[in-house]
């Protein structure tokens, strides 16, 4: 019987190891728990520092002002959310985030528009909204009546309700909705931090184990203190099926790609002593779990000399300051207009934006433009006619691997800070830049497209 168990175990672990190998996302050499090894984290930190030193101001101008924005942010909006709006604001000020588009979980009769923050708070522009019906919803006026009346609307009518009078709407959690139509939408989440977490079974198992393993717990907390962004960023992947949907749907209509932080500040574990032989592990939004020294003898050192009720350890995996630096949507707004809700809504609607993993390197200044005879004729999001001598030009403040896509297919690739392409065909052009970090290629910038007609 025992040998059968061992054989089954060997087969299962071979299968899992094989599957893990097979599904390493593009650019990866290491699995997430491998990326969390102290020497890997140190190497990532060193490469980030080297990139900071290599940073050069972008000379190619898009003529607009670059603002760091966060879409899909939760604060004080549910029992499973740990963070507050005040806390989110503090993190935004520390990380240079200038725009926060909130996405409350809908809880009628609370009105997610009128009972929230709207406008400038200490220099950070807040736009209220919700996550619901599969979308990020940013209506320009309250839609509380829809919920109070318990309206049954078709998806099409719902989209019309949100976008009436200049509201914005994006498809959210695309990994659950590849077959949904994007007609009538402003765009979709091309990266979602929470979606990226969903396949991290191995990491979640490792983390759960750490909570009842005093040595691993100590190591995890020291790594979080020393390498907060490197630990947070260890799960970063490239979501090829989501990007493929974006490419497919872009053939039909303009769609702005945005990043979803999906931040809640709720990945906070607390371990308390409840009796001489029992600990309680709690996480926001879930019932606490009790573990005794009979079940897991290894927890005994945690309890030594501690009184009932005492906090033994706390692991904070997702402070807003980390999630806000991990991924952002940069918006390009007219310089003379300044930071206004109308300008933000317009940039989101027209694709004057790009997604970036800021933690790898500051992308501010990144430019992707169309030019003719040395004159700029369009920026990201533009729709321009095909003429002779039309060129696409791209420049970034850091060197990386630049990839240019036409109708979803890779047509040019180069290493460096800039790329130029003579346009001979109409269609949708977009770019990605990947950075070399600790021997891996990691996605850094996703431009929004320029359409040539």
One residue of 111, 196, 230, 262 binding Zn ion per CB under 5 A: 262
Q: How many CA atoms lie within 13 A of 270 on its CB side?
A: 15
Nearer to Zn ion, 131 or 230 (CB): 131
Rule CB under 5 A: is residue 47 a binding residue for Zn ion?
Answer: no
Assess contact for 19 and 199: CB atoms under 8 A: no
N- to C-terminal Cα distance for the chain? 69
Decide if residue 131 touches Zn ion (CB under 5 A): yes
CB-nearest residue to Zn ion = 262
Interface segment toward Zn ion; rule CB under 5 A; list 131-139, 145-153, 293-301, 416-424? 131-139
Contact 319, 90 (CB under 8 A): no
CB of 347 to Zn ion, least distance (A): 22
> Minimum distance between the CB of residue 103 and Zn ion, rounded to whole angstroms?
6
Among residues 193 and 350, whose Cβ is nearest to Zn ion?
193
| Cross-strand pairs, 188 | 171, 257
Q: Segment contacting Zn ion (CB under 5 A): 44-52, 85-93, 184-192, 256-264?
A: 256-264
- CB nearer to Zn ion: pick between 80 and 253: 80
Task: Supply the minimum distance, in Å, between the C-beta of residue 286 and Zn ion.
Answer: 13
Would you list the DSSP string of 120-137? EETTEEEE--EEETTEEE
Least Cβ distance, residue 432 to Zn ion (angstroms): 25
Select 77 or 230, whichever has its Cβ closest to Zn ion.
Answer: 77
Distances (CA, A) of 339 to 118, 342, 344, 434: 13, 9, 7, 29
Return the number of the residue (188 or 380) whose C-beta is nearest Zn ion: 188
Q: Contact between 318 and Zn ion (CB under 5 A)?
A: no
Which residues contact residue 87 at a Cβ distance below 8 angstroms, ignoring those fewer than 6 apart? Answer: 75, 265, 320
CA-based nearest residue to 261, from 39, 101, 417, 67? 101
Minimum gap (Å) between residue 199 Cβ and Zn ion = 17
The residue range among 41-49, 206-214, 258-266, 358-366 that interacts with Zn ion, by the rule CB under 5 A, is 258-266
Q: How far apart are alpha carbons 257 and 154 in whole angstroms?
A: 24
Of 27 and 76, which has the nearer Cβ to Zn ion? 76
Distance CA 300, CA 212 (A): 9
How many residues bind Zn ion, per CB under 5 A? Answer: 2
Binding site for Zn ion (CB under 5 A): 131, 262
């Amino acid at each position: 019987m025992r040998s059968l168990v061992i054989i089954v175990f060997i087969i299962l672990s071979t299968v899992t190891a094989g599957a893990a190998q097979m599904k390493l996302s593009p650019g990866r050499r290491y699995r997430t728990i491998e990326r969390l090894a102290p020497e890997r984290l140190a190497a990532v930190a060193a490469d980030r520092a080297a990139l900071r030193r290599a940073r050069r101001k972008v000379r190619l101008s898009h003529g607009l002002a670059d603002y760091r924005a966060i879409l899909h942010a939760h604060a004080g909006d549910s029992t499973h959310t740990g963070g507050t709006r005040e806390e989110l604001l503090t993190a935004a000020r520390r990380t240079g985030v200038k725009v926060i588009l909130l996405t409350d979980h809908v809880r009628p009769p609370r009105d997610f528009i009128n009972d929230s923050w709207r406008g400038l708070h200490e220099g950070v522009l807040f736009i209220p909204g919700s996550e619901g019906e599969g979308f990020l919803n940013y209506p320009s006026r309250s839609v509380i009546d829809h919920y109070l009346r318990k309206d049954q609307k078709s998806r099409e009518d719902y989209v019309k309700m949100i976008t009436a009078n200049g509201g914005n709407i994006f498809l959210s959690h695309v990994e659950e909705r590849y077959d949904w139509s994007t007609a009538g939408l402003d765009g979709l989440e091309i990266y979602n931090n929470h979606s990226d977490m969903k396949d991290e079974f191995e990491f979640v198992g490792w983390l759960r184990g750490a909570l009842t393993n005093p040595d691993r717990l100590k190591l995890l907390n020291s790594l979080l203190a020393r390498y907060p962004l490197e630990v947070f960023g260890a799960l970063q992947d490239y979501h090829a099926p989501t990007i493929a949907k974006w490419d497919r749907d872009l053939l039909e209509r303009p769609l702005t790609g945005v990043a979803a932080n999906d931040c809640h500040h709720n990945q906070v574990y607390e371990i308390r002593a409840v009796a001489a032989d029992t600990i309680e592990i709690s996480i926001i939004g879930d019932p606490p779990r009790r573990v005794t020294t009979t079940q897991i003898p290894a927890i005994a050192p945690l309890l030594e000399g501690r009184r009932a009720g005492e906090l033994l350890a706390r692991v904070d995996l997702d402070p807003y300051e980390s999630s806000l630096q991990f991924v952002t949507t940069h918006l390009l707004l007219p310089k003379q207009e300044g930071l206004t809700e109308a300008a933000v809504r317009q940039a989101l609607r027209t694709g004057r934006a790009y997604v970036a993993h800021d933690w790898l390197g500051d992308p501010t200044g990144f430019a992707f433009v169309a030019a003719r005879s040395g004159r700029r004729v369009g920026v990201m999001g533009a729709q321009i006619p095909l003429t002779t001598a039309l060129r696409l030009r791209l420049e970034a403040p850091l060197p990386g691997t630049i990839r240019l896509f036409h109708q979803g297919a890779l047509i040019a690739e180069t290493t460096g800070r800039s790329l130029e392409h003579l346009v001979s065909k109409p269609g949708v052009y977009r770019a990605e830049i990947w950075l070399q970090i600790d021997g891996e290629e990691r996605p850094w910038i996703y431009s929004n497209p320029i359409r040539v007609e």
